Amino acid sequence: MNDPLHNDELLRERIASYLQSQVGAPVAIGTLKRFAVGFSWRTYLVPVSGLRGYPQTHELILRLGPDYGLFAPYSAMPEWLAMRSLEGSAVPVPKAYWAGDEAGVFGAPFLFGERMLGDAVVPWVPANTPPLDETYRRSLGAQFIDALAALHRVDWRDKPIAAMGEGIDTANAALRTVADWEARIARWAMRPYPAADWAVRWLKDNCPTAPRVSIVHGDYRTGNFLERDGHITAILDWELVHLGDPHEDLGWASLPMYMGGSKFISRLCEPEWFYERYSEKVGFEVSMASVRYYRAFSLLKLAATHMAAARCFEEGRFNDMRMPAMGSQIGTCLRQLEKTIEAQP
User: What pairs with residue 244 in β-bridges?
Assistant: 214
Sorted by where each begins, the domain ranges of the chain are 8-115, 120-342
Sign of the Cα pseudo-torsion (83, 84, 88, 89, in order): negative
Find the angle CA(33)-CA(34)-CA(36) to the nearest 5 degrees: 135
Q: Whole-angstrom Cα distance, residue 262 to residue 129? A: 10
**pLDDT by residue (tens digit) across 170-225?**
999 999 999 999 999 999 999 999 999 999 999 999 999 999 999 999 999 999 99
Q: Whole-angstrom Cα distance, residue 183 to residue 164? A: 18
pTM: 0.95
Q: Whole-angstrom Cα distance, residue 254 to residue 276? A: 14
Query: Is residue 13 over pLDDT 90?
Result: yes
Residues 162-176 have a mean pLDDT of: 97
Superfamily, domain 120-342: Aminoglycoside phosphotransferase (APH), C-terminal lobe (3.90.1200.10)
Residues 283-307 have a mean pLDDT of: 97
Query: Is residue 28 over pLDDT 70?
Result: yes
Query: Is residue 55 over pLDDT 70?
Result: no
229 Rama class: left (phi>0) / alpha (psi -120 to 50) / beta: left
Q: Whole-angstrom Cα distance, residue 119 to residue 150? A: 22
Same fold: 8-115 with 120-342 = no
Select from 45, 54, 7 the least CA-distant residue to 27. Answer: 54
Topology given in CATH for the domain delimited by 8-115: Phosphorylase Kinase; domain 1 (3.30.200)
**pLDDT by residue (tens digit) across 102-126?**
988 999 999 999 999 999 888 778 7
Half-sphere exposure of 215 (CA within 13 A, CB side): 31
* For the chain, percent of residues with pLDDT exceeding 90: 78
Residues 53-60 have a mean pLDDT of: 77
Render 215-247 in DSSP notation, one character per residue.
EE-SS-STTSEEEETTEEEEE---TT-EEE-TH
Provide the pLDDT for residue 322: 80
| Most confident residue range from 8-12, 66-70, 283-287 | 283-287
Mean pLDDT of the chain: 93
Q: Whole-angstrom Cα distance, residue 290 to residue 324? A: 32
Residues 221-233 have a mean pLDDT of: 95
Residues 286-306 have a mean pLDDT of: 97
- Assign 52 a pLDDT band (cuts: 50, 70, 90): confident
Higher pLDDT, 129 or 209: 209
Provide the pLDDT for residue 4: 85
- Assign 27 a pLDDT band (cuts: 50, 70, 90): very high
* For the chain, percent of residues with pLDDT exceeding 70: 98
